[in-house]
Structure 1
Amino acid sequence: MKLAFPALSVALAALAGAHALRIESSEVAPPADIRGEHQELERVWSVFSAEPLEKLHLAVPGPVFVRYDSSLRPVVTPEAAPTRGSAAGSQDDDESVEVSAGSAAGAVKEAGSLGSEVKEAGSLGSDAKEAGSLDEAAQEAGSFEAGSFESDLLANVTSHSRRLRAHKKTQDDDKEDDESDAPEVLVARVVVTGNSSELLNMLELLALKKSSNNGLRFHLQNADATAEGFLLTQVQLAEQHVLRHLTTSLSSVVDVAPRVLVTNSSETKVKLAVQGASGLLVNEPEAITLRDLDVEISGSGFVQLNVSSVQLDGKLNVNLAGSGAIALHTPSINASEIKSSISGAGALVVEAENLTATEIVTAVYGVGVGSLRATTRGAAHKQKITIAGAGNVYAGSVVANRTKVEIWGSGEAYVQVKEKLDVSTAFSGNVFYVGDAPEDVRTSGYFFWRTPVQPAAEDKYETHAAIASPAVYPEHVSVQTKQARHSVDPIVKKISVGAQSVVLSSHLAAVAHGPNALLVFGCVAFGLVAVGMFAQSFQQRRARRHYRPLV
């Protein structure tokens, strides 16, 4: 028996695409309602799927506002709710059901359903029946005598195996029916308003290719184009607390309203990323309970998180490369690990009333600043601080049992340690301890005839004034793009938003994938370490010559 592989492939492809995102775009036209100043034109994208939207990549100029809109949720009435029998129809009595062209069910019906293909090829039961069951084959071969213990045992095993196969097939059929019955509903809507049809036509909404069919990319079309005008983007989500991955570039600011991000899932990791000079504001009055929270900046942008509390079973991971800033304001934060890396001239400010973690790891490469401040209580089991260059780490309000500090350069670290403080420095780095002296202080490295560990006259920390959400108002945008050959995004030659103007000579992806500042300052740190080791070796050789025996 021969299996129809082409038909089966089409059927599988149709089933796989049943839950894919479907995007409908409108033409640029005047809005039905009066929007406001500089919003004479409107363009709308509607996104339909059987699953909620989880990922959003924004690469459009101007301000972007991400909101949860309950009016987008479909209203399902008992009369309109399709039943399993009425929606799919019975296999025996409803052979004349018409299926609309292009639907997943139509593709499956045209190509032949999985059940029909398997039926044509012969099911497991028919194969076993044609070849003879196990007990019949054994009896014909004379392996066991009919009615013997062995024959009865083999018959029972064979019967049980058949029942298991039948039960599994029923479960698989029910699962396929449930997935095929999942309705395709409106999950998101993107509304862009402005006063330039050329500018609005430059925008494009795509489904992420390397995604689980629940991600969108809103960006400039990959083409040669020039446009100017006012622009305002609003992303509306039909479900609340669904977004777990948000990336932005080019946008002047992305304002994320409450009930947008996932907040209550101990198995979920939420990632926020900013590229270039874009800004990201997150306001969440509800408590955040997640597995991990990742915040990244590559460039000169900023991220501000105002949340009621942060509870992480895993890690708070912060990566900053460039001159950007990350600020986290919360009354309480509790995580298994707080890990931050700052490369360049960036700044990290964490302000909380209560801050607790099992382990805190902070690394500064360059002239950046990392500040962890607990106004009421801060505690950690162990802490590690690495500074290469002239950066500073302020963690004097967090009481750690054990702390290890490595400084290669002229950086400074403020700590508060109860038990053991291990310091390794070269050149002019300093470590200041707040409060009582640690029980055990150990130093190593090249100190240039000084003491690297000293008591702090007062605690130092960085502060950050919280930024309020901007008004929902368009900004003037001027952009020039050039088509790129090997990328979805175009080459942005020039872009200006408001009074700011930036000339870009490279591809957008270069902001995220260009030379890492960590590598640059790592090389600088390596040079400093090499010089320090050479100086220490020279001093040791000089000391050996000084104490060399005369005979």
Structure 2
Amino acid sequence: MKIYTYVVAMALASGAVNAWTFDASDVAPPEDIVGEHQTLQRSWTISSYAQLEQLYVAVPGRVFVELDPSLLPATEAPETEAPATKAPETVAPATKTPETEAPVVPVGSLAGSGSGWNDSSLSGETIEIPSMMLRKHHHHKDEDEDEEQGEETVVAKIVVTGNSTDLLNMFDAVPLHPKRNDGLKFHLKNADAYGEGYVLTQIFLFNKNLLKHVTTTFSGDVVLNDDVVTLDNKKANLKLACVGDGNLFLESSANVSLSSLEVKVTGSGLAQVEIPSVILEGELYVEVAGSGSVAIISDALTADEVKSTLSGSGDIVVDTSSFEAQKLVASVYGSGITSFATAGAVQKETLTLSGPGQLLAGSIVAQRATADVWGNGEVLVQVTDKLTVSTSVWGKVGYVNDPPTDVKIKGWWFWREASSIVYPAAVNKVLIYEPATVPAKYPVYYSVETAASLLSNDPDYAFVSTELAESSSVADLMTMSLSNMHKEATGSHGLFYAFIGVGVVVVNVVAARSWSQRRVRRHYTRLAAPILHQEKKPAEKMAFTDAIIAPYAAAKDLAQSMNPVLFAAIVAVVVVVNVVAAKSWQARRNRLEYSPLLNNGDGLAGWLTSRFNAIATANTAPFKLVLASELMNLPLPIGPVTDPVIAAAIPAGEPQEYADPAVQAWSRTITAAPAIVVLTPQYNWGYPGHLKNLFDHLYTEWAGKRVVLVTYGGHNGSKCADQLQQVLTGGLHMEVIGNVGISLPKEFIRSTDRVDATNAPEFLAQYEAQVDAAFELLLKRLQQRLQQSEQK
């Protein structure tokens, strides 16, 4: 399916490109002195029969999209610019509810450097377009339609400045859609290329307030002037999207009146929209998938419906002084925070929280509200009439001010008190967002390496690094490459595939009490509480120090036993997923004896083990990290789920109910483990399927487990981490203590270099502080629980 899509796209593009005229210059020194690191310049003048309404930017560096007033008609002189509407500062206002607790969101590295917009003389420079560039371009088909649109005119000019010819030659401008001529795409050429140097991109538009859809995909920042996007058109839909770890800025001094506004962030980027007043005939839709953020800052917001969806650890902030809508629909999946730091009112509110995140809507007065809470996060509301709550084990909803007239609770909560589910909030909490500084118009250093794709107009991937980050990162521009589609081998064994090997690392307890005290104790109970089923008998209390000490060889035999007592020796599990390859093609052909190549996962597991054990020793913590394969003979990776009964229906502490003996052993291991550390690579924007199988075979065993995520890949494994956080916190009700993303240098991906378990490479030094902090927090939580257990 994917191959067909790309082939058709290429076939159609050749027939539709004649709707555009692209006049590209060679790389040459600019006529005038531009600024530091801007000794070279390249430009594209783009002409079309249609107005430019869509812009897709996929290049590194800072990109400024602005209007060139020199080419506006005489009737649109500068004095006709949108009048400035003075409004109060856009700092998040305090809600009218007394004692509002307002945590601050630090923007850190999101704030740009520099002091202003006048760092480049291009900001006020007049761009001259030769008359030959305004020529009319005839077509062999669809000519009548183009005639109705008028003559071909210049719609945009792109100017890229820097100090590297190779880098500037990697950029290219093409039509966004094969059959439409209202969209422009500025991206990296589909070629094997390398370039490094400073770069700054400016996109000048020649028509005012026409852009309706802007998407940025890459590292870097895109800044939109308020005179280039559609802001005053009640029939128009404005869409802003940010994909990757870049940032998108829109700051307007004019009020906005649209049919709808949509702002999306996928990845770790930021979309920041600052507008004095927003009036929408339809809906405002905000979405974050990953660890990124969306901030809507306005003095007044009026819409028929406001929707927000947050998946991952990011943030959504709607910060206004006045909020009016008929409906509010907000969802949080994961550990992120959605906050409506505003005073306002809605008729109906629908809220969904899954995981440890926060959904803060206590500032908005709702007549009726429905809240679905399936995690241990926090939901705040302010409801006058009816509040309906659906929940299970930990879910709860706090109400601000007076209690709702009618409260109804649904779900698996029969062992809980109603007052622990719907409770009066002591204070109203909002998230105060400190706006990030708009980046200065100044070039940024990048090194970029691309690999050509046979299936797309974009490169397969691009290695990108800045002077601020010594190690390279990978931007996955496609999820499939031709070289990965077919791999054949000869010989009696047939096809040879690289296979995934799953190792498990566990933390073993070094108990504080004497051996004699542990020997005389006869009864131990499981550590996990039930999720869907109540225990018929109360669980016996057990201290973690009541664990059995045994050498690894003995522990291995004990771990295979059916007696759950012996599994109290296991404290935490670390799942390691690695790709194991053959030593050489010749060895496979001749069926010679060979051993798997060292892989990065083995080396990283060894590095993590040494750091954990060092921290545990320094803190005199009774924990140690060892390989789980030394404790059990589980046939890992466990295959797909085939049990006749789903894991969620199996009572906690009854592993014998699983049909597969391997899953039974896996259940006993996890039941005795109060903490998990996951080490996994990122493949094709996700985590390996074998790791998902390990989680899906169990359910109640995972509840309440503390987990540290360590992901690695060319680009930190950030997408993999975001997906795992959603699954672990929302689906399995685990608590994510920390997340560390490790970027592998390109030589550890594309060549034979691998992370050595005994001699860690230098690039890992930059991650030591993050890893140590996560492990220290994990140990702190484990020790706190150990102390609580001893007191009981």
Which of 307, 316, 320 is the matching residue for 1:352? 320
Q: Secondary structure at the match of 1:71?
A: helix
Q: Secondary structure at the match of 2:327?
A: strand
Quote how far apart the aligned CAs of 1:372 are: 0.7
Contact 2:136 2:152 in 1 (8 A): no
Which of 276, 281, 299 is the matching residue for 2:244? 276
How far apart in 2 are the matches of 1:318 and 1:457?
29
Contact 2:465 2:473 in 1 (8 A): no
Query: Structure 2 length normalisation: TM-score?
Result: 0.51
Residue number in structure 1 paired with 2:299 = 331
Alignment of 1:420 with 2:386, yes or no, is yes
How far apart in 2 are the matches of 1:231 and 1:191?
10
Greater shift, 433-442 or 205-214, is seen at 205-214
Q: Secondary structure at the match of 1:308?
A: strand
How far apart in 2 are the matches of 1:370 and 1:509?
31
User: 5+ residue gaps in structure 1?
Assistant: 1-12, 77-101, 115-175, 530-551
**Cα deviation digits, residues 207-241 of structure 1 (max 9, x gap):** 11246301111111111111110000000110110
Quote how far apart the aligned CAs of 1:38 are: 0.4
| Greater gyration radius | 1
Residue number in structure 1 paired with 2:726 = 521
Residue number in structure 2 paired with 1:411 = 377
Q: Secondary structure at the match of 2:181?
A: coil
Q: Secondary structure at the match of 1:30?
A: coil
Residue number in structure 2 paired with 1:22 = 21
How far apart in 2 are the matches of 1:106 and 1:465?
51
Task: Rate the CA distance shift 1:439–1:181 in 2: closer, same or farther, 3 A.
Answer: closer
Alignment of 1:478 with 2:477, yes or no, is no
Quote how far apart the aligned CAs of 1:19 are: 8.8
Which of 440, 443, 449 is the matching residue for 2:409? 443
**Cα deviation digits, residues 349-380 of structure 1 (max 9, x gap):** 11000011111111111101100121xx3111
Quote how far apart the aligned CAs of 1:446 are: 3.0
Alignment of 1:313 with 2:281, yes or no, is yes
How far apart in 2 are the matches of 1:193 and 1:484?
27
Task: Rate the CA distance shift 1:327–1:32 in 2: closer, same or farther, 3 A.
Answer: same
User: What residue identity is the alignment partner of 1:456?
Assistant: A
How far apart in 1 are the matches of 2:396 and 2:145?
67
Alignment of 1:393 with 2:359, yes or no, is yes
User: What residue identity is the alignment partner of 2:393?
Assistant: F
Task: Rate the CA distance shift 1:346–1:509 in 2: closer, same or farther, 3 A.
Answer: farther
**Cα deviation digits, residues 121-179 of structure 1 (max 9, x gap):** xxxxxxxxxxxxxxxxxxxxxxxxxxxxxxxxxxxxxxxxxxxxxxxxxxxxxxx5993
Q: Secondary structure at the match of 2:476?
A: coil
How far apart in 2 are the matches of 1:528 and 1:471?
43
Contact 1:268 1:292 in 2 (8 A): yes
CA RMSD of aligned residues (A): 2.8
Report 1:360-379 matches (<5 A). Answer: 360-374=328-342, 377-379=343-345
Task: Rate the CA distance shift 1:509–1:331 in 2: closer, same or farther, 3 A.
Answer: farther
How far apart in 2 are the matches of 1:234 and 1:253?
12
Alignment of 1:461 with 2:666, yes or no, is no
Query: Structure 1 length normalisation: TM-score?
Result: 0.72
Q: Secondary structure at the match of 2:430?
A: coil
Quote how far apart the aligned CAs of 1:442 are: 1.1
How far apart in 1 are the matches of 2:247 and 2:458?
20
**Cα deviation digits, residues 4-44 of structure 1 (max 9, x gap):** xxxxxxxxx9xx97992211100000001110100000001
Report 1:56-455 matches (<5 A). Answer: 56-73=55-72, 179-180=147-148, 182-210=150-178, 212-374=180-342, 377-447=343-413, 448-450=415-417, 451-455=420-424
**Cα deviation digits, residues 377-429 of structure 1 (max 9, x gap):** 31111001111110110011100000011111101101100100111111222
Contact 1:72 1:187 in 2 (8 A): no
Quote how far apart the aligned CAs of 1:501 are: 5.6
- Bigger strand share: 1
Contact 1:252 1:497 in 2 (8 A): no
**Cα deviation digits, residues 295-318 of structure 1 (max 9, x gap):** 111110001000111111111111
How far apart in 2 are the matches of 1:369 and 1:386?
12
How far apart in 1 are the matches of 2:397 and 2:361?
11
Contact 2:238 2:262 in 1 (8 A): yes
How far apart in 2 are the matches of 1:63 and 1:505?
18
**Cα deviation digits, residues 49-96 of structure 1 (max 9, x gap):** 2322111111111100010111133679xxxxxxxxxxxxxxxxxxxx
The number of equivalent residue pairs is 423
Task: Rate the CA distance shift 1:483–1:382 in 2: closer, same or farther, 3 A.
Answer: same
**Cα deviation digits, residues 279-304 of structure 1 (max 9, x gap):** 00101111111111111111100010
Alignment of 1:37 with 2:36, yes or no, is yes
How far apart in 1 are the matches of 2:320 and 2:399?
20
Contact 2:16 2:179 in 1 (8 A): no
How far apart in 2 are the matches of 1:412 and 1:177?
56
What is the aligned-residue identity percentage?
38
How far apart in 2 are the matches of 1:23 and 1:178?
17
- By relative contact order (CA 8 Å, sep 6+), the higher-ranking structure is 1
Contact 1:491 1:506 in 2 (8 A): no
Which of 443, 452, 456 is the matching residue for 1:487? 456
Contact 2:17 2:178 in 1 (8 A): no
Greater shift, 189-198 or 492-501, is seen at 492-501
How far apart in 1 are the matches of 2:271 and 2:149?
41
User: 5+ residue gaps in structure 2?
Assistant: 1-11, 76-134, 480-681, 687-718, 735-792
Q: Secondary structure at the match of 2:44?
A: strand
Contact 1:42 1:194 in 2 (8 A): yes
Greater shift, 34-43 or 308-317, is seen at 308-317
